[in-house]
Amino acid sequence: MAEPVALNLLLWLPALGMALLVAAPRAGDRAVRYFTFGVMLAQLALAAWLYGRFDGSVPGLQFATRIPWIADWGVHYHVALDGLNLLLVVLTAFLGPLVVAGAWTAVREHVRLFHVMVFFIQFAMLGTFVAQDLFLFYVFWEAMLIPMFLIIGIWGGERRIYATLKFVLYTAFGSILMLAAVIYLVWSLSRSTGIASFDFTDLYRHRLPLEVQTWLLAAFALSFAIKVPMVPLHTWLPDAHVEAPTAGSVILAGVLLKMGTYGFMKLGFPLFPDATRLMTPALMTLAVVGIVYGACLALVQTDIKKIIAYSSISHLGYVMLGLLSLDLVGVQGALVQMVSHGLVAGGLFTMVGMIYERCHTRELAAYGGLAKLLPVYSVFFMILTLASIGLPGTSGFTGEFMVLLGAFNAAWPRWLAGEALPIALAVVAVTGVVLGALYMLWLAQRMLFGAVRVPHGPVTDLGVRERVIMIAFVVAILGLGLFPRGPLAKTELAAREYQERVLATRLDEGTP
Amino acid sequence: MNWPLILQSMLPEHLLLAGMLAILGLEIWSGRSRDGHALAVVAVAAAGIAALWLHATGFSAAPFAGHYSVDPYTTLPKAVLLGLALPVLLISRDDFAETPYYTLVLASLYGACLVVSSDSFLTLFLGLEILSLPVYALVVLGFLRPQSAEAALKYLVLGGAATATLLMGMSFLYGWNGSLELAVFGDAVLAGEPIALAGAALIIAALFLKAAVVPLHAWAPDAYEGASAPVTAYMATVVKAGVVFAALRVIGTTTLTPPVLGLVALLPLVSMAWGNLAAIRQTSFRRMIAYSSIAHAGYLFFAFLGAGAGRWEAIVFYVVAYGLMNLLAFAALPRGADDERQDRLDALKGLHRRRPAAAAMLAIAMLSLAGLPPLPGFVAKFLVFRNVVEAGHTFYAVAGLVASYLGLYFYLRVIQYLYMGEPEPSAARGQPRRLAFAASALCLAPAVLLTFFPGWLLDRL
């Protein structure tokens, strides 16, 4: 019985931390930082313990808490872990302390407000992942906008106001249509079955005509696709990433983007399976276009942060490809790829932040030969680069390889049956790996090797704090790359469940 | 006449009247005009508690049968209106030390209480006039700048037009049916005869005018900007809520059918879109709030698209959430001697550096008005649009939600000023005031409750 308590504690620790920070207006900056870091560590410990206790051989939800919240409407405070959100919760908890530690010296203004906002977004992100009730999910989903708006807008770069407004207005537009879809979905459930419920499990059983499914999927998909982001809805991402402070970029790339793919996996596809199968060719094409287009754009950027931002578009395309392949290996690969991208992109953004703190520019052309000046920095950067490319032994390899394998697994029988599109998409997706190697190695080469070029004079190598942060990232990346069996075993049943849900037919031929 | 019954059922009104008389008496006998504020606060609080008490005991009676009745559906709106008036009074003392202000506010509240209890068009008309007449005077009472007089006159003329329209509609219905009962409205909508429909449409138009729904909104931005901050707060919350409760009284649980349905769907929809878009261009805080309240009037009237039973719940919850947050914004707003400069949105730049608590409260108010979760404004919006979908008007619901999205930008812009702007060196600091602090606490505490337990209020509706 301790596990549900621990899960709730995990979720509410950031909220508690936020309340305490608000209640202590006179706390010094140092105290605020240590306090936040401590709470985040406690949260990580809880997440790790829950991960250990999670039983991969049991299907469905575990450690659930279900309390009526708005009884009239059938809204419950329903939180639980399952194989789909388990890894993402651990990822979020893992990045928490690293974000705080990474911002130790970078954030000097409004320190207390900054940590309040970091707590706030941590709370909202964890809530989105563990919520098993559509209303609760939506509340957390939308609430994420508020802290991110402030984090980019207050501590961001020069064009921060433009970037943060663009980010919020983009994402809110998707969410408002999703809200309409949520209202309609729940209403149609209560009309056809008489149950007023927002519970995912009830909604998974709901039957709808194909036309309605398609409209609702379109509304959900718009919201999720903006968050992922999928081409052509990605234009907010480069601006937001470039202008955000390091902590904001890490949170954005590390967790926030996964909200979109998680939404597809948990809600969009399983809720409207028939419409999903109808839309699969279109969505899959968009995913592959994203892989290649993101990689091509990354090739031509001159701003280091932009290269990594566009690489995110490319890497999340793989996640979408894996989810849409509906092959078990592909779906599991998508899960691993989500975590892997969170770690790799989070780590890379942290490293860009470290060099930016020293040299105050993100122009790639301003740097060169850092390997000679900053050997420790360069080693870590190289490891992350290789992980981003997907070198065997790193988490990137596990994710991308499984996704591509799944895509081919699913495409092969279709090819034999005379359908060429899936296999063509899978082949094109492979070229994304090559392009990925190209732009990341080019980035590393221009930055780390060649003639020594450093703006603003001499620089110091990573300090102890920075080394510890990077070691944490590298250990996690190698751990997931070398020993993927543990996480895969814990999530296998959930992936199967997802597969079954999306393959099922839930058409309602009766009342429109 | 059953005097004890009248005494009990009209207790909130009597307490307001007593407060009014006490304030006037005090001024005459002691010549001191300074105690008006305390007396008004006590009277409104007592009246509010009386309304809550009547509500809690489930009291219902019809002391003036056919004209005035009291039941839980009237006592709760009374408690809400009086409760919203309390923070308004608390933030008033710095602007208004003289007694006329407090007498006028109490008189206007008396009218609001009468409106929500009315059963006939006669009482409704009386109530609406008592509600709005003192407000014309209140707008000009501050007399901060020449525009105040112009705004008050504009408000008076258009308010008079609304009165005339209402009377016209009432007389149409009377001519059609020979009755002044409010229930005639429902019959008129269902009957579909031209004269009946014309009467119903005129009455709705009059209510739209009083609530500032596009295209009958032109008075609001001027009046809101010209009045002093507490009066603007009063108009945006209590007066608007009073008018919407009047509409609830008139329309009741009647299922609207075309063509009246079209009127109640399209004008509020335009109101949401236009209010939200026009607010973007404003440079004055009160003018921006005026456009925001035009948009919110749209949401409130949208609730009438829903089925009968859900309307009550949606409107009461919306009024509470919207009223509290609007008042929170006014309570947290820094004030200074130079009203015109303080009212500029630029004056809010960098407020976080100077007064973080005030900035945080303003930000919370703006986010809630924008309808972002987890704040109560979201649940209110959800409730309204859920009812619209459940009534089968999916298209209107989607259009309304998209229109509400348009409002996000200007609310966020306020937050941008608060947190991301550099303070102007000349900006007046604006001392935190104890009474304003009490007012914001009064708004914030229920808002926090509604954020975490929206069901608490919903269960009681």
The full 3-state SS of A153-203, as one line of letters, equals HHHCCCCHHHHHHHHHHHHHHHHHHHHHHHHHHHHHHHHHHCCCCCEHHHH
Q: Is B14 on the interface with A (CB under 8 A)?
A: no
Instruction: Confirm if A234 and A313 have CB atoms less than 8 A apart.
Output: yes
- The H-assigned helical ranges of B57-71 are none
Q: How far does A196 lie from chain B, in Å, by closest CA?
A: 12
A25 vs B contacts (CB less than 8 Å): 356
Name the residue among A75, A149, A173 with its Cβ closest to that of B405. Answer: A173
**CA B425 centroid distance within chain:** 36
CA distance A247 to A228: 19
**Residue A226 and residue A194 in contact, taking contact as beta carbons nearer than 8 Å:** no
Q: A220: number of CA atoms within 13 Å, CB side?
A: 31
Q: What ranges do the domains of chain B cover?
A: 1-141
| Adjacent-strand bridge partners of A65 | A79
One-letter amino acid of B36 = G
Residue B407 has pLDDT above 50, yes or no: yes
Q: Does B420 touch chain A (CB under 8 A)?
A: yes
* Facing A153 at nearest CB: one of B374, B420, B455: B420
E strand intervals along B137-248: none
User: Could you report the predicted ipTM of this complex, rounded to two decimals?
Assistant: 0.92
Helix/strand/coil for A133:
strand
The DSSP string of B418-455 is HHHSPPPTT-------HHHHHHHHHHHHHHHHHHH-HH
User: Which of B386, B397, B419 is facing A150, going by the closest CB pair?
Assistant: B419
Q: Are A401 and A337 in contact (CB under 8 A)?
A: no
Cβ–Cβ below 8 Å for B412 and A173: no
A177-204 residue pLDDT tens = 999 999 999 999 988 888 888 999 899 9
Give me the helices (H) in A304-394, please.
304-325, 328-359, 370-373, 375-389
Say if residue A262's pLDDT is above 80: yes
d(CA A163, CA B240): 36
Question: What is residue A512's predicted lDDT score, i.e. its pLDDT?
Answer: 44
The whole-model pTM stands at: 0.94
Identify the residue whose tokens are 């004209």: B67
**pLDDT, tens digit, for every residue of A422-460?**
899 999 999 999 999 999 999 999 999 988 888 877 788
Shortest CA gap A146–chain B (Å): 8
| B 18-37 residues inside an 8 A Cβ radius of A | none
Tokens 């208004």 — which residue? B96
The residue of chain A nearest to residue B391, with distances taken between CA atoms, is A187
What's the pLDDT band for A271 if we cut at 50, 70, 90?
Answer: very high
The DSSP element (H or E) to which A81 belongs, if any, is strand A75-81
| Cβ within 8 Å of B, A 25-54 | 25
> Do B328 and B443 meet the contact criterion of CB atoms below 8 Å apart?
yes
Please indicate if any CB of chain A lies within 8 Å of the CB of B398: yes
| Distance from C-alpha of B216 to C-alpha of B214, rounded to nearest angstrom | 5
SS3 A113: helix
User: What's the mean per-residue pLDDT of chain B?
Assistant: 88
A143 vs B contacts (CB less than 8 Å): 372-374
Neighbours of B260 (CB within 10 A): 21
Among residues B321, B316, B319, which one has the least CA distance to residue B375? B321
Burial of B345 (0-12, 13-18, 19+ CB in 10 A): middle
B374/A69 touch (CB, cutoff 8 Å), yes or no? no
> What mean pLDDT is predicted for residues B33-49?
86
Helical axes A421-448 vs A304-325, angle rounded to 10°: 160
- Least Cα distance to A253 among A170, A333, A172, A339 occurs for A339
Distance, CA of A52 to CA of A63 (rounded, Å): 13
Which residue ranges make up each domain of chain A?
294-506
Task: For chain A, give the percent of residues with pLDDT over 90.
Answer: 72
Q: Where does residue A504 fall: left (phi above 0), alpha (psi -120 to 50 degrees), or beta otherwise?
A: beta
DSSP state of A230: P
Cα-flanking dihedrals φ and ψ of residue B126, to 5°? -55, -50
Cα dihedral A71, A73, A79, A80 in deg (nearest 10): 110
Spatial distance between the Cα atoms of A387 and A141, rounded to a whole number of angstroms: 30
A243 CB near a chain B CB, below 8 Å?
no
| 8 Å CB contact between A334 and A261 | yes
Nearest one of A209, A135, A119, A211 to A178, comparing CA atoms: A135
Mapping DSSP to helix (H, G, I), strand (E, B) and coil, where does residue B144 land? coil
pLDDT per position as a tens digit, B236-280: 999 999 999 999 999 888 888 888 888 889 999 999 999 999 999
**DSSP 8-state symbol, B333:** S
Strands (E), B154-287: none
The alpha helices in A360-454, defined as continuous H runs, are 370-373, 375-389, 395-416, 421-448
Is the Cβ pair B458, A143 closer than 8 Å? Answer: no
Q: In this predicted structure, what is the pLDDT of residue B97?
A: 76
Instruction: Tell me which amino acid residue B153 is.
Output: L
User: What's the confidence (pLDDT) of residue B32?
Assistant: 66
**Helix (H), strand (E) at residue B75:** helix B72-90
pLDDT confidence band for A155 (50 / 70 / 90)? very high
The closest of A235, A240, A411 to A322, measured between CA atoms, is A411
B412/A180 Cβ within 8 A: no
Min Cα–Cα distance to chain B from A26, Å: 12
Phi, psi of B163 (to 5 degrees): -60, -45
CA separation for the pair B43, B106 (Å, rounded): 8
Tell me what the mean pLDDT of segment B68-88 comes to.
92
How does DSSP assign A66-80, residue by residue? EEEEEGGGTEEEEEE
B280 touches A: beta carbon within 8 Å: no
**Mean pLDDT across chain A:** 91
What distance in Å separates residue A143's CA from the closest CA in chain B? 5
Among A11, A187, A226, the strongest candidate for a mutation testing the B interface, having the largest count of B CBs within 10 A, is: A187
Residue A238 to chain B, least CA–CA distance (Å): 21
Q: Which of B76, B45, B44 shows the shortest CA–CA distance to B58? A: B76
Task: Write down the residue that tokens 């279709």 correspond to.
Answer: A414
State the number of CA atoms in the 13 A half-sphere of B73 facing the CB: 16
pLDDT, tens only, B197-242: 999 999 999 999 999 998 888 888 988 888 888 899 999 999 999 9
**Dihedrals φ, ψ of B284, to 5°?**
-100, 135
pLDDT on residue B427? 57
Torsion of CA A143, A148, A151, A154, to 10 degrees: -90
Residue B379 confidence class, pLDDT cut points 50, 70, 90: very high
Write out chain B residues lying below 8 Å of A176, CB-based: 401-402, 404-405
Q: Are strands B61-64 and A62-70 parallel, antiparallel or unpaired?
A: unpaired
DSSP string of A202-229, one letter each residue: HHHT--B-HHHHHHHHHHHHHHHHHHTT
Partners of residue B379 in chain A, C-beta under 8 Å:
70
Q: What is the pLDDT of residues A49-94, one digit of tens each?
A: 999 999 988 888 999 999 999 888 889 999 999 999 999 999 999 9
Q: Report which of residues A246 and B341 the model is more confident about.
A: A246
Q: Can you tell me which residue has the tokens 């902590």?
A: A247
Quick one: pLDDT at residue A509? 67
